[in-house]
Amino acid sequence: MTRSFPSSAPAADAAAVPAAPPEAVPPRRSRKLPRRYAPIAFAFFMSGIMAFLMCCVIVAANTGFGPGYLLRVLGSYALAMPVAFCCVLGVRPLVMRLVAATVRP
């Protein structure tokens, strides 16, 4: 059984694109937040998702899935999201203590 290995010669495509000198490439900036903002980012995403789901359910329970359902959901979400965000930020310390009291280290 004979194996063929690729040649060590550079590919024709690689020769066509010249490599940029290291100083010509700008440093890549991270689009992520610093770690100290993790509790705020968590509160933002948690409140956004939960408020939207709750608005969907409550609007459907109160007015049904008729015409204008999505507009009613978005209208209630505009009020619910900021309130939920503040609530999540406010109760986070209490929730952390409750979790610490109920979960083994």
CA distance 26 to 5: 37
CA distance 62 to 65: 9
Chain segment 75-104, per-residue pLDDT in tens = 999 999 999 999 999 999 999 999 999 999
Residue 44 has pLDDT above 70, yes or no: yes
Average pLDDT over residues 44-48: 94
pTM value? 0.65
Residue 19 has pLDDT above 60, yes or no: yes
* Residue ranges covered by each domain of the chain: 35-102
pLDDT at residue 1, as a whole number: 58
Average pLDDT over residues 47-74: 95
pLDDT at residue 22, as a whole number: 59
CA distance 3 to 23: 42
Name the nearest CA neighbour of 44 among 75, 11, 97, 86.
Answer: 86
How many CA atoms lie less than 13 Å away from 8 in the CB half-sphere? 0
**105 confidence band (pLDDT: 50, 70, 90):** confident
